[in-house]
Amino acid sequence: MNPPGSAKKRVCIVGSGAAGLSAAWSFSRHPDQFDVEVWDKLEQAGGVATSIDLKDYGTYINDGVQGGSPVYRNTIQMMDQVGMKCAPIQMKFSFGQYENAWNNTHKTELQERFADEIAKFEKVIKIVDKMMFIFAFVPIWVVMKMFRFSDEFANLMVYPLVALFFGTGNQSERVSAAIVTQIWLNPEARMFNYDKERMVAEAADMIAFPKLGEFYTRLQHQAEEAGNVKFFFNRPVGRIYRDNTKGRKVTVFNQEGDIRESYDYIVMACDAETALKILDKPSFLERTALGNVEYYNDISITHEDEDYMNRHNDLQLKERNDQYFIHQYSPESSLMEMSFNLTNYQPQLKGFQKNIFQTIFLNDKMMDKWTIDDIDKDKIIAEKWWRQFSHAWKHFLITVPLIRFIQGSGYGTTYYCGAYTIA
């Protein structure tokens, strides 16, 4: 914060996703101290979390992010701030197929088969939780090997739950073991109570987000109404120079090089790859922290191919109203594909006569395993590529601890925000 009466500081925020918009809104609350410009390469705010209007259906879907846990208090409060409400839901999942199928509402053959390991796993996560300062840097797959769990138990039961809770997909086995325990043991973030016989035997209290496109638009307008925040879309940053001369220390060029602006501070609300690419002379710590973040290319297919879902998942539409599905390539592999039944998940689709699904295919380097070609192309509604960072154990070992030390880099000018900085 600036001392009262001092000159206003100019701030540039790079990116207008959830982090960038939140930063802009926060600055807008202090119009006497900051003048803020938000630069974004896209044509609208929101980043990877967007909404798609389905004109043929007279409705919309949220794309990229569906909802979350009630512990997302800041997100819920921000939505309240602009007059929008999250809808409470009971999260029901369905993992695997046939003899390897299980869910959180009915006891299955798989849970009986792994009864001993389910009981043992409860004891192990309590040990891990008590020794969190050690296991924070140990991936969950190491713990599964260390305590002699079977590969099938890990692949069919543990890793799918990690993927559901943290959105980690094919990187689930690399997530910190200490983080995994939070699914059951953290009273502030717990999704399920541990069931000694089934591991999970209840629907989880979750929330479904309102129309994300409208939320981000309202948040943008509320920030702009303060008079000290401006948004510039279709303006990708090309280069950022920082120096210690008198006056403003940050110079920002657009990608074409025909726009040049000077600022006192820069807020990197973009991905780590972009931050490293556009920064001139990043410090050693910046290169280490940002360069350690791994990214993968995923694609989400929104479709209404019920036959495809039946072939690759335990769908059971007449018996259950599951929202989240995981298809595993084999019991010997931790690799998977994720799907949602949006009709059961998103409240605006409640009572909708058709089931709208969204299937996410993870990491295009493994495209040879994808079942994407099995989806009837005539039943595809939308396709969206997105770049997702990995929640690997080394992310928690290197990047997350170092973030605090790169805040204020570049002569006190540069700050970082976004999912990769905290998770």
Kindly report the CATH number assigned to the domain that includes residue 20. 3.50.50.60
- Looking at the predicted structure, is the pLDDT value of residue 423 above 80? no
Res. 64: pLDDT tops 80: no
CB 271 within 8 A of CB 389: yes
Q: In the chain, pLDDT over 90 holds for what percent of residues?
A: 74
Over residues 324-362, the pLDDT tens digits come to 999 998 888 889 999 999 999 999 998 888 999 999 999
| Averaged pLDDT score across all residues of the chain | 92
pLDDT-derived band at 57 (thresholds 50, 70, 90) equals confident
What span, in angstroms and rounded, lies between the C-alpha atoms of 221 and 21?
A: 10
Name residues whose C-beta falls within 8 Å of residue 210's C-beta, 6 or more positions apart in sequence. Answer: 79, 84, 85, 86, 87
Mean pLDDT, residues 383-391: 88
Contact 234/397 with Cβ under 8 angstroms? no
Residue 75 lies in a domain: no
Tell me, yes or no, whether 191 and 309 share the same domain.
Answer: yes
pLDDT band at 318 (very low <50, low <70, confident <90, very high): confident
Question: Is the pLDDT at 12 greater than 80, yes or no?
Answer: yes
* % of residues, the chain, pLDDT over 70: 98
- Predicted pLDDT at 4: 61
Distance of alpha carbon 111 from alpha carbon 364, whole angstroms = 32
Residue 381 pLDDT: 94
Same domain for 354 and 221: no
Q: pTM of whole model > 0.85?
A: yes
For 291, counting Cβ atoms within 10 Å of its Cβ (0-12 exposed, 13-18 middle, 19+ buried), the class is middle
50 — pLDDT class (breaks 50, 70, 90): confident
Cβ atoms of 386 and 293 within 8 Å: the answer is: no
- Provide the pLDDT for residue 373: 97
Tell me, yes or no, whether 280 and 367 share the same domain: no
In this predicted model, what pLDDT tens digit does every residue of 101-112 receive, in sequence order?
A: 999 999 999 999
Classify residue 80: in a domain, yes or no: no
207: alpha, beta or left, given left = phi > 0 and alpha = psi -120 to 50? beta
Q: Dihedral angle at the C-alpha atoms of 282, 285, 286, 290, nearest 10 degrees?
A: 140
Asked whether residue 361 is assigned to any structural domain, the reply reads: yes
Confidence of residue 367 (pLDDT cuts 50, 70, 90): very high
What is the model's pLDDT at position 350?
A: 85
Residue 417 lies in a domain: yes
| CA–CA distance, 328 with 316 (Å, rounded to integer) | 17
Of 6-10, 24-28, 55-59, 165-169, where does mean pLDDT reach its minimum? 165-169
User: pLDDT tens digit string along 172-226?
Assistant: 898 889 989 988 998 877 888 899 999 998 988 899 999 999 999 999 999 999 9
Mean pLDDT of 376-397: 89
Res 152: pLDDT = 95
Q: Is 101 found in the same domain as 48?
A: no
Banded model confidence at residue 73, pLDDT cuts 50, 70, 90: confident
Average pLDDT (115-136) is 95
Structure confidence at residue 6 (pLDDT): 73
Q: How many domains, in total, are found in the chain?
A: 2
398 and 274 in a single domain? The answer is: yes
- As a whole number of angstroms, the distance between CA 207 and CA 177 comes to 26
146-181 pLDDT, tens digit per residue, is 999 999 999 999 999 998 888 778 888 988 899 899
Strands 357-361 vs 324-328: parallel, antiparallel or unpaired: unpaired
Cβ(320)–Cβ(345) below 8 Å: no
Q: Are residues 223 and 287 in the same domain?
A: yes
Residue 417 has pLDDT above 90, yes or no: yes
| 187 & 255 share domain | no
For residue 73, tell me if it sits in a domain: no
Q: Does residue 281 share a domain with residue 222?
A: yes
Over the chain, what HEC string results?
CCCCCCCCEEEEEECCCHHHHHHHHHHHCCCCCEEEEEECCCCCCCCCCEEEEECCCCEEEEECCCEECCCCHHHHHHHHHCCCCCEEEEECEEECCHHHCEECCCCCHHHHHCHHHHHHHHHHHHHHHHCHHHHCCCEHHHHHHHCCCCHHHHHHHHHHHHHHHHCCHHHHHHCEHHHHCHHHHCCCCCCCCCECCCECCCCEEEEECCCHHHHHHHHHHHHHHCCCEEEECCCCEEEEEECCCCCCCEEEEECCCCCEEEECEEEECCCHHHHHHHECCCCHHHHHHHHCCCEEEEEEEEECCHHHHHHHCCCCCCCCCCCEEEEECCCCCCCEEEEEEHHHHCHHHCCCCCCCEEEEECCHHHHHHCCHHHCCHHHEEEEEEEEEECCCHHHHHHHHHHHHHHCCHHHHCEEECCHHHCC
Residues 185 and 224 grouped into a single domain: no
Same-domain check for residues 97 and 183 = yes
CATH number at residue 360: 3.90.660
**Residues of the domain holding 350:** 88-208+296-389
Based on the fold, state whether residues 264 and 330 are members of the same structural domain: no
The Cα 165–Cα 159 span in angstroms is 10
76: in domain = no
pLDDT at 1: 57
Cα separation, 249 vs 363, whole angstroms:
39
pLDDT tens column, 212-263: 999 999 999 999 999 999 999 999 999 999 998 766 799 999 999 999 999 9
Q: According to the model, what pLDDT value does residue 246 have? A: 66
* 4 within a domain of the structure (yes/no): no
Q: Give the whole-angstrom CA distance, residue 159 versus residue 188.
A: 22
Asked if residue 316 and residue 204 are part of one domain, the reply reads yes
Residue 71 inside a domain? The answer is: no
